[in-house]
Amino acid sequence: LLKELGTDRVINYKTENLDEVLTKEFPDGLDVIWETIGGKVFETLFSHLAVHGRLILVGSISAYKTEGVGGAPIDNLQAKLLRGSKTLSGFYLFNFKHLCPKYLKQLVGDVVSNKLRVVLDFGQKSSEGEFNGIDSVVRGVESSEGEFNGIDSVVRGVERVLQAIHKYLQCRSGLSEPLSTEPSGLTDDVSEREK
């Protein structure tokens, strides 16, 4: 899936040594890192951040069941950021909720025009069957933990969440047919959409 989406290099941290692969294949470091795993993976990725590189911390899935969004201690973090002119920033979607209507329009438009490819996992292979409705979000994410396989599992989890949200919106709108994907059908005014 990731190769089909244009990924240059997929690294399976369970079968490959992340540090060795990055050292060998990216000797100058990585310019941009979108980090969702946390823990030791975060530490390894940070150590491979290039001069002027940016690391965007989006999650810490490896720590959610143990210490929550915990911190991986990095010795001399301030000095490493300063000397490398590196940027470390957090990204928490709820802090950008005011931008969601605008970008939802853009995302839907990109899907309709085939600029963005959407792949959905309906949970057919799940032991409890297809994910259906908002109540399936937790089950969908939890079911991916047993088969956690790096970013591929994160992608599957996001796909499951998006599908559950889509079905939830269908139920709220009272439609039995799929919601319109026409960008013109969306509005920035949440109260107007709920009428």
Q: Kindly state whether residues 136 and 104 are assigned to the same domain.
A: yes
CB 17 within 8 A of CB 44: no
| Residues 101, 189 within the same domain | yes
Encode the chain (195 residues) as per-residue pLDDT tens digits: 667 667 778 888 778 999 999 999 999 999 998 888 888 888 899 999 999 999 998 877 776 666 555 666 788 888 888 899 999 998 888 888 888 888 888 888 888 888 887 766 667 666 777 766 666 666 665 555 444 444 444 455 555 556 656 665 665 555 554 444 333 333 444 344 344
Q: Let me know whether 101 and 187 are in one domain.
A: yes
Give me the phi and psi of 153, to 5 degrees please.
-70, -35
As a whole number of Å, the CA-based R_g of the chain is: 19
Six token digits for residue 48: 């491979």
H or E element at residue 18: helix 18-25
- SS3 (DSSP) at 150: coil
Name the DSSP letter for residue 108. Answer: H
Give the CATH number of the domain where residue 22 resides.
3.40.50.720
Q: What is the DSSP letter of 188?
A: S
pLDDT for the residue numbered 23: 96
